[in-house]
Structure 1
Amino acid sequence: MIVLIDILFLFELFYSTLAIDCIGVDISHVALFEQENVVYRDYDGQPCDPFTLIKRHGINCVRLRLFTSNEQQVLSHPYDFAPTLKHTLSLARRAKENNLRILLDFHYSDTWADPGHQEKPSKWIELDFNQLKRRLYEYTRDSVQAFVDQETKPEFVQVGNEITAGILWPDGKSSNWTQFGSLLRAAIKGVRDASRQSKIILHITRATNWLGTKWFFDHTITDEIIDFDIIAQSYYPFFHGSLAALNDCLRRTAERYKKPIIIAETAFPWTNLTSSDLLVKNMTGFDTNPLGQVNYISALSHILENLPEKRGLGIFWWAAEYQPVPKYPHLGDFELRSFFNATGHPLPILRIFGGLLENSAKPPMPIYLIGPIMTILTWICMNKLIRRCR
């Protein structure tokens, strides 16, 4: 009986999938790496378009950054300014050619926006607050409309990236909720006026901090009455803490706000060369190697899948395309947290991550399971027949 239970458990584990709807990757810099002669390969070692490859293995969405940068800035430093509107529209076309959904991630800055950096676009610095609000609305509306016009309408839109401390500093700092809320409403109206069907995401960085999460969303939902659809958090174990703390915060979030939840950014090392390895292992219990990546995403997806009222909507892996290249020596070790090793070959995480989706094609049954499973089924059928004959 114990053997029977064990084998059935393995069968269920191998063939079970999750009910979460969105399994995605942020590959916003893929064109930069391709320009540096990076070749992405399939599991047979053959060169393969990365958009085609991720779709083939079950991933159904890409997250694409959008900066307010211009071509002159891109020429000066591609890594920090590349995601112009033209650049991101090009990636969106590649995504839709492979039937991938799009999450458009507005940074509202010429370069990276995050909890410590929310600098205004250089061309918006002299605007007063009312002008700034109007410009934000028009820029958001026109940008989303550009995606709609080329038939790559984004299914999801983030109005700001990691906006725990606000946007468009200093005017939109979260210490001034009246102005911050006014700017958020302007951005959301811009999205709605261009694409009513796109789901609006608010993205913060308090995945293991319930009090911080509650502070932010109580303000946005109760005080400022912001009209949005999805709550998003970044979760990096080496920054944010344990999976247990994440689980606690997300469960409380789901229960209090009754909105879908995504992990908009996450990653885990596939090698033990990073300085944060010990911290990562202490926070997750998983080794920093390819198997550790798999164990990590399995644990993370289990948390999302089991949120109250099935509020877990999806997970996005950040920098899945990163590769070590001489031109960009300072990638924050994210080339060691990608889906590909240093020669461009895919790691097991690609296949496992895409396989989480409920509608993903299931892998062939392992041949070593066929015999035991058939024996079990025969045994069950025979027992039923014997009981009926009695």
Structure 2
Amino acid sequence: MRPSHRLRRRTVLLGAAAGTGALALGVSSGTGPAEAATTFVKGADISWMAQMEAHGYVWRDKNGVQTDLFTILKQYGIGAVSLRTWVNPSSDPANGHCSLDETAALAVRCRNAGLQVLLGFHFGDTWNSVGVQNPPAAWAAMSYSAMLQAMYDYVYHAMNVFKYNNVTPAWVKIGNETNSGICKPTGSISKPAQMTGLLMAAHDMVKQVFPATPTLVHLAQPQNLASVQNFLNAYKANGGQWDITGLSSYAQGGNVPGVLANMQTIQSQYGKPVMQVEYGGPLNKPAQVRDSLKAFITGLKGFGGLGTFYWEPEGYAPFTTYGSSAWDPATKRPTAALDGFL
């Protein structure tokens, strides 16, 4: 099954329309997947950036000088960004936006700043995570076959929007913390063939538009090795394909070595390199977070892991009360946590 001719035509028309607006920026495709595979990746998810800017938030460097966020991140050796996208999000500043067009516009800015882009599909209208996997509202009542076609069409269109804007994703994450499946109940892990079918529709459309871009499946809580193995065994047994195993871990201090050991086991068992696509720690314990980040980077490099992404380090109160960022809300400067990248 492939995207309908109607969808292909719609993609071209939307791309043409975008060409007159914010998305028609630049012509360079930036650093591509080949380069992405050769160097340990230091990255950050900054999906809140555009909405923070829209609400007047700014960032200062470690010396207190108001500076472009991309410039500050690069001072810490960060060379890649992770951007999430939702299907039909609300207008809520922190829990909405991240529509496809908004995400593509931010990806263009990242590319123009010389940063690689990891695009992450949540396959929902807002947060999906290890405990929540709700389909987009528009898909919820669909049969499996209809949802499968919707997935083909959606990802094919998304990849063509990126292609039209001359952004080649360095990596694409098909789902977010999908231990229990996606678009539940249709794509629940208890229905492994359907779960795999939906994920493979996404995988195939990434490869159709960007054949060299690696795909990631993304699992949370590698401290619970059985949970990760349960998903990967079911996905593999039903014909699932992927290039990199993405893992979330916010482990700190003495918990880091055990998580690293499990990450190494996952890499060895399934023959796919791992990437830590989410990391963070308590805002009020920056030295601990810094040292744990260093430990993850050292450990991952030691067994051939591909990289580490800090999750939304730029977020600070009152835009968000999320407690694991790396920016001081009082000074608007990065905390010592980001020194773990140096």
Shared topology, TM-score over 0.5? yes
Does the 8 Å CA contact 2:152/2:201 hold for their aligned counterparts?
yes
Query: How has the CA–CA distance of structure 1 residues 83 and 265 changed in structure 2, closer, same or farther, with 3 Å as cutoff?
Result: same
The answer to whether residue 165 in structure 2 is matched with residue 163 in structure 1 is no
Task: Determine which of 142, 146, 158 is the counterpart of 1:127.
Answer: 142
Task: Determine which of 111, 126, 130 is the counterpart of 1:111.
Answer: 126
Looking at structure 2, the residues matched to 231 and 193 of structure 1 have their Cα atoms a distance apart, in angstroms, of 20
The answer to whether residue 257 in structure 2 is matched with residue 244 in structure 1 is yes
**Equivalent residue number for residue 206 of structure 2:** 191
Query: How has the CA–CA distance of structure 1 residues 247 and 57 changed in structure 2, closer, same or farther, with 3 Å as cutoff?
Result: closer
Secondary structure of 1:92's aligned partner: helix
Task: Determine which of 313, 323, 340 is the counterpart of 1:320.
Answer: 313
Q: How far is 1:169 from its partner?
A: 1.0
Looking at structure 1, the residues matched to 75 and 322 of structure 2 have their Cα atoms a distance apart, in angstroms, of 29
Q: How far is 1:339 from its partner?
A: 4.0
Q: How far is 1:208 from its partner?
A: 1.0
Read off the aligned partner of 1:265 and give its amino acid letter.
E
Looking at structure 2, the residues matched to 125 and 295 of structure 1 have their Cα atoms a distance apart, in angstroms, of 43
Read off the aligned partner of 1:231 and give its amino acid letter.
T
Task: Determine which of 247, 258, 279 is the counterpart of 1:233.
Answer: 247
Task: Determine which of 168, 183, 197 is the counterpart of 1:153.
Answer: 168
Q: How far is 1:268 from its partner?
A: 1.4
In the alignment, structure 1 segments of 5+ residues that lack a partner are: 1-18, 272-287, 356-390
Looking at structure 2, the residues matched to 270 and 128 of structure 1 have their Cα atoms a distance apart, in angstroms, of 44
Task: Determine which of 109, 112, 115 is the counterpart of 1:94.
Answer: 109
The answer to whether residue 68 in structure 2 is matched with residue 49 in structure 1 is yes
Looking at structure 1, the residues matched to 98 and 226 of structure 2 have their Cα atoms a distance apart, in angstroms, of 33
The TM-score with structure 2 as length reference comes to 0.84
**Equivalent residue number for residue 221 of structure 2:** 206
Q: How far is 1:57 from its partner?
A: 3.0
The answer to whether residue 298 in structure 2 is matched with residue 302 in structure 1 is yes
Q: Per-residue displacement from partner, 1:331-373 (whole Å, max 9, x unpaired)?
A: 3323xx32445321122333441x3xxxxxxxxxxxxxxxxxx
The TM-score with structure 1 as length reference comes to 0.74
Looking at structure 2, the residues matched to 118 and 293 of structure 1 have their Cα atoms a distance apart, in angstroms, of 29
Does the 8 Å CA contact 2:326/2:334 hold for their aligned counterparts?
no
The answer to whether residue 323 in structure 2 is matched with residue 333 in structure 1 is yes
**Equivalent residue number for residue 278 of structure 1:** none
Looking at structure 1, the residues matched to 117 and 224 of structure 2 have their Cα atoms a distance apart, in angstroms, of 28
Task: Determine which of 234, 257, 269 is the counterpart of 2:270.
Answer: 257
In the alignment, structure 2 segments of 5+ residues that lack a partner are: 1-37
Secondary structure of 1:143's aligned partner: helix
Query: How has the CA–CA distance of structure 1 residues 343 and 36 changed in structure 2, closer, same or farther, with 3 Å as cutoff?
Result: farther
- Structure with the larger helix share: 1
Q: How far is 1:295 from its partner?
A: 0.9
Looking at structure 1, the residues matched to 76 and 280 of structure 2 have their Cα atoms a distance apart, in angstroms, of 18
**Equivalent residue number for residue 279 of structure 2:** 266
The answer to whether residue 336 in structure 2 is matched with residue 348 in structure 1 is yes
Read off the aligned partner of 1:321 and give its amino acid letter.
E
Looking at structure 2, the residues matched to 159 and 298 of structure 1 have their Cα atoms a distance apart, in angstroms, of 27
Alignment size in residue pairs: 305
Does the 8 Å CA contact 2:173/2:215 hold for their aligned counterparts?
yes
Report the RMSD for the aligned CA atoms in angstroms.
1.9
Looking at structure 2, the residues matched to 304 and 182 of structure 1 have their Cα atoms a distance apart, in angstroms, of 31
Read off the aligned partner of 2:337 and give its amino acid letter.
I
Looking at structure 2, the residues matched to 226 and 117 of structure 1 have their Cα atoms a distance apart, in angstroms, of 21
Read off the aligned partner of 2:248 and give its amino acid letter.
S
Out of 89-98 and 44-53, give the one that drifted further.
Answer: 44-53
Read off the aligned partner of 1:234 and give its amino acid letter.
S
Looking at structure 2, the residues matched to 44 and 338 of structure 1 have their Cα atoms a distance apart, in angstroms, of 15
Does the 8 Å CA contact 1:164/1:216 hold for their aligned counterparts?
yes
**Equivalent residue number for residue 77 of structure 2:** 58
User: Percent of counterpart pairs with the same letter?
Assistant: 27
Read off the aligned partner of 1:259 and give its amino acid letter.
K
Does the 8 Å CA contact 2:283/2:323 hold for their aligned counterparts?
no
Looking at structure 1, the residues matched to 228 and 340 of structure 2 have their Cα atoms a distance apart, in angstroms, of 30
Does the 8 Å CA contact 1:270/1:292 hold for their aligned counterparts?
no
Q: Per-residue displacement from partner, 1:70-101 (whole Å, max 9, x unpaired)?
A: 5xx21xx2221111112111210110111100
